[in-house]
Amino acid sequence: MTYPSVTQILPPPDFSKIPEHVLTFATERGTKVHQIVAAIAQRLWVPSIPEECQGYVESFRRWFDTYVEEVIYTEQELIDPVYGFMGHVDLVVRMLKEIVLIDIKTPIMLQKSWQLQLAGYLHLARKNGCKVKKAGSLQLSPQGKVPKMKWYQDSARDLNVFLGLLNGWKFLNS
């Protein structure tokens, strides 16, 4: 059975004021950055880093080398067959002696939907046996500076809102 992903369930951000070519470039860059940082987290060799990704990758390395004690998994697909959804979690790591879930972000502006996305991912991680304490979004800096970490409350409200969106998605797509 095919399940919708966490990001499919969430309403898309309003990018109506951003030119299409800018969005396309940002999407492609974000995909490249995610692939590169996943490889770094797995301690794989990264042959070359495109110029437009270099700052983001340096930002990630600053955070990773300073805080991450152990990588539990990266880019892991997790499924909840009971609620009927899935997601690809960017990172689950041990840092500061806690197991935490990290979602890598390249947009400069914080988005409200991220807390719902992380509620879904946190649920999936726990449902699949990972003893995650908390979840956060890591906004990488395009200039290579220290990234911004935003920790999210593990709130029943956020999960309930997410599950409401999931039910709406299922209703509209069945």
Residue 44 lies in a domain: yes
- Which residue range(s) make up the domain with 136? 6-172
pLDDT digits (tens, 9 = 90+) for 102-151: 999 998 888 889 999 999 999 999 999 999 999 999 999 999 999 999 99
Q: Does residue 69 belong to any structural domain of this protein?
A: yes
Residue 57 lies in a domain: yes
Q: For the whole model, what pTM was predicted? A: 0.92
CATH number at residue 53: 3.90.320
Q: Is residue 137 part of a domain?
A: yes
| Alpha-carbon 85 to chain mean position | 16
Structure confidence by residue, pLDDT tens digits, 55-111: 999 999 999 999 999 999 999 999 999 999 999 999 999 998 999 999 999 988 888
Q: What is the pLDDT of residues 95-111, one digit of tens each?
A: 989 999 999 999 888 88
* Residue 1 within any structural domain of the chain: no
- The rounded percent of the chain whose pLDDT value lies above 70 is 100
Domain total in the chain? 1
Within-domain flag for 15: yes
Considering the domain boundaries, does residue 110 fall inside one? Answer: yes
C-alpha 57/C-alpha 39 separation (Å) is 11
Check: CB of residue 121 under 8 Å from CB of residue 101.
Answer: yes
